[in-house]
């Protein structure tokens, strides 16, 4: 009998790749979307338009406990993947209140609904390497102490603690994936990687003259989102619930990313990239690097896409997109 999965954040980068992955596994895939998304599918459902007829969408919100209960009671999912959140770190400095309120309450509401109405449902929480923040050790693993440096990171630590507490207090199957930066051509334009590859394409076609970035020295562990959704699924297939760090074990700077992206389009990044101090975070996270040895051993998971392949994929797709759309 086919399993049923419910995805919050199904319209996002990770949600869209996860939905594709689960459909290939013959799952019945359901997703939660805000009503505004249903009313503006061109702009808000573009990542899932190619599979829209194969999935079931429910007008609901992670900020509404009653609407979550309604959906969970209706479909009784075998698995819930909680990916829905305000996920842009820089925005969390501008509006800490919305980020913390939405992300923490959303996670709490989903967990509470599972406990009260569908306790056999397995739950995945999307953690983040931003939880480590000013990490006291490099690389970071499941035992590294959290030191978040943004409202977003703080909200994810709270979500991690909620998930662990519901696992221990109510014997629920709850896991957190502490995913390091994972990108793709479906990444939002506000994220630095997509900001870079989109700017490369616009500059290449004469639509933009320069690219303003913040801290070029920031070091990150970048992988492809398509690889990481498999790790999410694997976590919920284990005999016992556990938490896992997911990454590549390789580290690169923002400057390296920009340099490679521009070179793929036959340009030198130095001619176009300008450092804008206004784009540097009030409290910067300097170095994030994953030690995913636990996932490799237990889940038998490892990344399939390396750094150069990731940048090439993103830059190539943005060059095609800008050429086609003209903006």
Please count the residues of the chain. Answer: 327
Give the active site residue among 92, 118, 128, 129: 128
Annotated active-site residue 136? The verdict is: no
Count of Cβ atoms closer than 10 Å to residue 86 Cβ:
18
- The crossing angle, in degrees rounded to 10, of helices 96-117 and 65-75 is 40
Instruction: Work out the angle at residue 164's Cα, subtended by the Cα atoms of residues 64 and 13, and round it to the nearest 5 degrees.
Output: 55
Which residues touch 180 (CB under 8 Å, ≥6 apart)?
A: 129, 220, 221, 222, 223, 245, 246, 247, 248, 288, 289, 290
Which residue matches tokens 């842009």?
Answer: 88
Q: Is 292 a catalytic residue?
A: no
Sort 33 into a burial class: Cβ within 10 Å, 0-12 / 13-18 / 19+.
buried
Question: What's the DSSP call for residue 321?
Answer: H
CA distances from 12 to 36, 78, 86, 262, 312 (A): 14, 21, 11, 26, 21
d(CA 71, CA 77): 9
CA atoms within 13 A on the CB side of 244: 30
Q: Is 283 a catalytic residue?
A: no
According to DSSP, residue 124 is labeled E
Show Cβ contacts of residue 267 under 8 Å, excluding neighbours closer than 6 positions. 200, 203, 204
Which burial class, exposed, middle or buried, applies to 189 when counting CB atoms under 10 A from its CB (0-12, 13-18, 19+)?
exposed
Q: Which of 17, 27, 152, 166 is catalytic?
A: 152
Catalytic, out of 130, 183, 184, 292: 130
Task: Of 320, 311, 322, 321, give the one whose Cα is nearest residue 207.
Answer: 322
- Catalytic positions, written as ranges: 128, 130, 152
């Amino acid at each position: 009998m086919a399993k049923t999965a419910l995805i919050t954040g199904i319209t996002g980068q990770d949600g869209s790749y996860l939905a594709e992955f689960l459909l290939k596994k013959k799952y019945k895939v359901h997703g939660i979307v805000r009503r505004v998304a249903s009313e503006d599918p061109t702009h808000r459902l573009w990542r899932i338009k190619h599979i829209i007829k194969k999935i079931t969408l429910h007008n609901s919100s992670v900020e509404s406990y009653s609407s979550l209960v309604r959906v969970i009671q209706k479909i009784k999912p075998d698995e819930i993947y909680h990916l829905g959140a305000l996920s842009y770190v820089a925005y969390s400095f501008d509006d800490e209140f919305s980020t913390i309120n939405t992300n923490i309450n959303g996670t709490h509401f989903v967990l509470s609904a599972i406990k009260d109405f569908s306790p056999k449902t397995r739950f995945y929480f999307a953690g983040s390497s931003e939880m480590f923040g000013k990490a006291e050790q490099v690389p970071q693993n499941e035992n590294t102490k959290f030191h978040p440096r943004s409202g977003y990171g703080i909200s994810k630590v709270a979500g991690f603690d909620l998930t662990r507490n519901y696992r221990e207090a109510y014997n629920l199957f709850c896991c957190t994936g502490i995913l390091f930066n994972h990108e793709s051509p479906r990444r939002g334009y506000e994220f630095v990687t997509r900001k870079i590859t989109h700017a490369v394409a616009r500059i290449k076609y004469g639509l933009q003259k320069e690219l303003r970035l913040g801290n070029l020295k920031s070091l990150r562990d970048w992988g492809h989102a398509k690889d990481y959704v498999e790790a999410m699924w694997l976590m919920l297939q284990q005999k016992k619930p556990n938490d896992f760090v997911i990454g590549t074990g390789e580290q690169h700077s923002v400057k390296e990313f920009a340099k490679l992206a521009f070179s793929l389009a036959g340009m030198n990044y130095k001619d176009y990239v300008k450092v804008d101090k206004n784009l540097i975070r009030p409290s910067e996270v300097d170095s994030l690097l994953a030690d995913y040895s636990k996932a490799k051993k237990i889940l038998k998971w490892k990344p399939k896409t390396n750094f150069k392949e990731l940048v090439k994929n993103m830059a190539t797709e943005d060059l095609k997109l800008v050429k086609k759309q003209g903006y």
